[in-house]
Amino acid sequence: MNLYLIGYRGSGKSTVAPLVANALDWTFIDTDREIVKLTGQSIQSTFEFDGQAVFREWEATVIRAVSMRSRTVISLGGGAILAESNRQTLQDTGWVVWLKAAAEVLHHRIQGDSNAKSSRPPLTELDSLMEIRTVLNERQNFYAACADYTVEVDELTAIEAADLIVNRWQSVDK
């Protein structure tokens, strides 16, 4: 059994997941970091030179590999839930938490992240806030369908979100 964190970029998955892992005394893995290790290039470069389809193939490969583990808190890329095979893997091998945030909150967080522009490719030709609104709208149902538990993180610190997840996890009938 693993614990997966899903949500749009900027929702706090990579920040909250290690806090949850530490509290549970589990391992933490970030699938985006694993893809970078595997490919030897940034996500931005993979998107730019190989295309989104190739990136999604790498992503599915990494998700299948990390799903074989147990007692691991796994932070997934924002688009990981787009592939049916990924959604099925998550549901078959763990408990899924959606870190949900409003588009404006995500935009503010992404704009405040100095690494975001260099590490994350644009997904559309739209301005950043419109892109978030559009893509979030497209993914909303996928996130909701995957999630066993949803944490609205708009007004929470990472520690507060992690505490909610750990408390809920400890009360779940596994």
- The answer to the question of residue 168 being in a domain is no
In a domain, 42, yes or no: yes
- Answer whether residue 73 is part of any domain: yes
Secondary structure string (H, E, C) spanning 69-137: CCCEEEECCCCHHHCHHHHHHHHHHEEEEEEECCHHHHHHHHHHCCCHHHHCCCCCCCCHHHHHHHHHH
How far is residue 146's CA from residue 68's CA, in Å, rounded to a whole number? 18
pTM of the predicted model as reported, rounded to 2 decimal places = 0.92
For all residues of the chain together, what is the average pLDDT?
A: 92
Q: Is residue 171 part of a domain?
A: no
In a domain, 170, yes or no: no
* Tally of structural domains, the chain: 1
What average pLDDT does range 51-73 have in this prediction? 95
pLDDT at 119 over 90: no
Q: What is the pLDDT of residue 127?
A: 84
Distance CA(32)–CA(54), nearest Å, equals 14
In angstroms, rounded to a whole number, what is the distance separating the alpha carbons of residues 117 and 33? 16
Residue numbers of the domain that contains 40:
2-163
**Above 70 in pLDDT, residue 120?**
no
The yes-or-no verdict on residue 53 having pLDDT over 70 is: yes
Note whether residue 31 is domain-resident. Answer: yes
Whole-angstrom Cα Rg for the chain: 15
Residue 172 lies in a domain: no
Residue 118 pLDDT > 70 = no
Is the pLDDT assigned to residue 104 strictly greater than 80? yes
- Whichever domain contains 120, its CATH number is 3.40.50.300
**174 found inside a domain:** no
DSSP β-ladder status, 27-30 and 2-6: unpaired
Mean pLDDT of 47-54: 88
Share of the chain above pLDDT 90, in %: 81
Token representation of residue 172: 């779940």
Given a cut of 60, is residue 109 above it in pLDDT? yes
